[in-house]
């Protein structure tokens, strides 16, 4: 018997946990955390206690109570007895939190498969954050074109373009036929040919089931979406304008979107400015240089990259004040004073949580701020209001330039039509019912329900 069960990503964007069983082989496609996990019970500092293992999660049904899945030490207060693994593998599509966030709970004896790029992202997150722990797994890495054997099941990972490098879709050959899992995909990105390759292979596999993301499956897009090339053109325009006025340029984007980093880097270099990043971004880049396929600049060697260090005590910068992982880039340091005195030499990555640096930098009124993420979902977003208060206070000019990590509704509809699966299961979407309107063969997942193929 071959079946699919969905324990996350059902009617929500993110939190994918898809269980695929084929006879005695049981494997997971992603094991992520929902963006709004437990938000009915937990908020701010009220959070599940780590010392209670999975107890606080099970209390509110935030994770499935399955035997033979979790690490023994996390089950102590849960009433769910420990059993050796009943699952053969976890396959990760990419390193975004909503696809990998819960792997730390898994029994370390269950092998975790992921792309080599994803492995580097997971390591960088653990090394630069005091509270990230993905657990001690046996990791097995793959590249596109590999064939992975899990029992009698063969899995083909194929690279796709998404807003993080090292992203994959999967074609799983089961005894009932091929099951295709998209992970997260986009068609308009700088590496769109990778997505096309995946879609082509998916079509050729004549799948009995397609588990498809549907982030942008909406009746009306609320956000402006550009292509990455349009973002680059827009950033250059802003820098050129700032050059003419002798003004500074700040920007913010998702730090792990290295395509967006490259966009800002390219624009900065083209306009004769250096790009100023955080120590965390420098560290990530430095790790990713290991993967020559990603072809990213090395912050240790590339003179176009500078690193902004926050002051740890008044008026002084001392090596010992910084974490070990922050120190390798100290000779690339620029300070608030450098930015204030020579505004047209740099463009600076300024994350919302680091806005206090503006108090030290004191940019001239009329300096520019590029917001390169999706706009907030709601009008009453508190962070959004606070951000605009800061921009107004320092009289920074706001620009929004963003390209989504996901296929548009039209692109996705065409892709699904051309793959022509026997059944399509929408996940990672707030609007699964839209799939039913578009496709006769759509099956809407219900949490924990088993669908036999």
Name the residue nearer to Zn ion (CB basis): 184 or 349: 184
Distance CA 180, CA 205 (A): 8
Angle, alpha carbons 216-218-220 (nearest 5°): 115
In which element (H, E) is residue 212 found?
strand 209-213
DSSP percent split of the chain into helix, strand, coil, nearest 5: 30, 25, 45
Q: Single out the residue of 262, 346, 331 nearest to residue 297, CA to CA.
A: 262
Give min distance, CB of 428 to Zn ion, in A.
Answer: 8
- Tell me the window of 71-79, 89-97, 188-196, 377-385 that interacts with Zn ion (CB under 5 A): 89-97
Name the residue nearer to Zn ion (CB basis): 97 or 322: 97
Name the residue nearer to Zn ion (CB basis): 297 or 405: 405
Any bridge partners for residue 29, and if so which? 18, 91
Under rule CB under 5 A, residue 259 binds Zn ion = no
Under rule CB under 5 A, residue 30 binds Zn ion = no
- Tell me the window of 41-49, 179-187, 241-249, 310-318 that interacts with Zn ion (CB under 5 A): 179-187
Report in angstroms the alpha-carbon separations of 172 from 106, 175, 364, 378, 383: 22, 10, 56, 38, 41
CA dihedral 303, 403, 213, 376 (to 10 degrees): 110
Distance CA 309, CA 49 (A): 33
Under rule CB under 5 A, residue 96 binds Zn ion = yes
Give min distance, CB of 214 to Zn ion, in A.
Answer: 13
- Tell me the window of 91-99, 206-214, 238-246, 346-354 that interacts with Zn ion (CB under 5 A): 91-99
Give min distance, CB of 33 to Zn ion, in A.
Answer: 12
- Tell me the window of 15-23, 138-146, 184-192, 208-216 that interacts with Zn ion (CB under 5 A): 184-192
Name the residue nearer to Zn ion (CB basis): 30 or 107: 30
- Tell me the window of 73-81, 182-190, 221-229, 382-390 that interacts with Zn ion (CB under 5 A): 182-190
Distance CA 402, CA 368 (A): 16
Give min distance, CB of 186 to Zn ion, in A.
Answer: 10
Distance CA 128, CA 121 (A): 11
- Tell me the window of 47-55, 92-100, 335-343, 414-422 that interacts with Zn ion (CB under 5 A): 92-100
Among 30, 184, 257, 411, binds Zn ion (CB under 5 A): 184
- Tell me the window of 24-32, 48-56, 177-185, 190-198 that interacts with Zn ion (CB under 5 A): 177-185
In which element (H, E) is residue 276 found?
strand 274-277
Q: Are 408 and 414 in contact (CB under 8 A)?
A: no
Name the residue nearer to Zn ion (CB basis): 18 or 74: 18
Q: Single out the residue of 312, 307, 248, 313 nearest to residue 275, CA to CA.
A: 307
Distance CA 389, CA 383 (A): 10
Q: Are 108 and 90 in contact (CB under 8 A)?
A: no
Name the residue nearer to Zn ion (CB basis): 100 or 275: 100
| Count of chain residues binding Zn ion (CB under 5 A) | 2
| Residue given tokens 């296929």 in the structure block | 407
Distance CA 121, CA 287 (A): 8
Name the residue nearer to Zn ion (CB basis): 254 or 420: 254
Name the residue nearer to Zn ion (CB basis): 164 or 267: 164
Binding map of Zn ion across residues 127-166, x = CB under 5 A, - = no contact = ----------------------------------------
Name the residue nearer to Zn ion (CB basis): 96 or 262: 96
Residues that bind Zn ion in the complex, under the rule CB under 5 A? 96, 184
């Amino acid at each position: 018997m071959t079946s699919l069960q969905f324990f996350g990503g059902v009617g929500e964007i993110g939190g994918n946990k898809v269980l695929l069983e084929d006879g005695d082989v049981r494997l997971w496609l992603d094991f992520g955390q929902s963006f709004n996990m437990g938000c009915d019970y937990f908020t701010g500092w009220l959070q599940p206690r780590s010392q209670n293992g999975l107890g606080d999660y099970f209390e509110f049904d935030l994770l499935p109570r399955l035997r033979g899945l979790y690490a023994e030490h996390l089950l102590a207060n849960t009433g769910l007895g420990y059993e050796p693994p009943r699952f053969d593998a976890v396959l990760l599509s990419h390193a975004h939190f909503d696809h990998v966030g819960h792997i730390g709970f898994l029994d370390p004896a269950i092998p975790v498969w992921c792309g080599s790029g994803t492995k580097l992202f997971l390591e960088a997150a653990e090394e630069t954050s005091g509270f990230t722990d993905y657990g001690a797994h046996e990791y097995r890495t793959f590249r596109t074109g590999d064939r992975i054997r899990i029992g009698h099941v063969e899995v083909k990972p194929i690279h796709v373009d998404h807003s993080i490098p090292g992203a994959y879709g999967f074609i799983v050959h089961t005894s009932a036929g091929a099951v295709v899992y998209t992970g997260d995909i986009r068609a308009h990105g700088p590496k769109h040919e990778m997505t096309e390759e995946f879609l082509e292979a998916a079509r050729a596999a004549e799948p009995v089931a397609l588990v498809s993301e549907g982030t942008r499956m909406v009746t009306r897009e609320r956000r402006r979406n550009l292509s990455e090339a349009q973002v680059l053109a827009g950033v250059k325009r802003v820098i050129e304008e700032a050059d003419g006025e002798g003004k500074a340029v700040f920007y913010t984007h998702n730090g792990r979107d290295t395509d967006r980093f490259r966009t800002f880097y390219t624009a900065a270099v083209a306009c004769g400015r250096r790009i100023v990043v955080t120590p965390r971004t420098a560290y990530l880049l430095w790790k990713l240089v290991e993967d020559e396929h990603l072809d990213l600049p090395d912050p240790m060697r590339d003179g176009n990259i500078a690193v902004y260090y926050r002051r740890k005590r008044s008026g002084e910068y001392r090596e010992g004040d910084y974490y070990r992982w922050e120190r390798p880039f100290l000779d690339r340091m620029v300070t608030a004073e450098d930015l204030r005195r020579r505004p047209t030499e740099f463009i600076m990555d300024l994350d919302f949580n680091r806005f206090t640096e503006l108090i030290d930098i004191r940019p001239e009124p009329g300096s520019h701020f590029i917001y390169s993420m999706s706009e907030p979902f709601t009008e009453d977003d508190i962070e959004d209001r606070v951000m605009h208060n800061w921009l107004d206070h320092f009289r920074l000019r706001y620009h929004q330039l963003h390209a989504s990590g996901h296929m548009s509704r039209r692109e996705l509809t065409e892709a699904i039509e051309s793959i022509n699966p026997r059944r399509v299961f929408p996940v990672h979407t707030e609007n699964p019912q839209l799939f039913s309107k578009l496709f006769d063969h759509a099956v809407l997942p219900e949490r924990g329900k088993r669908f036999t193929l």
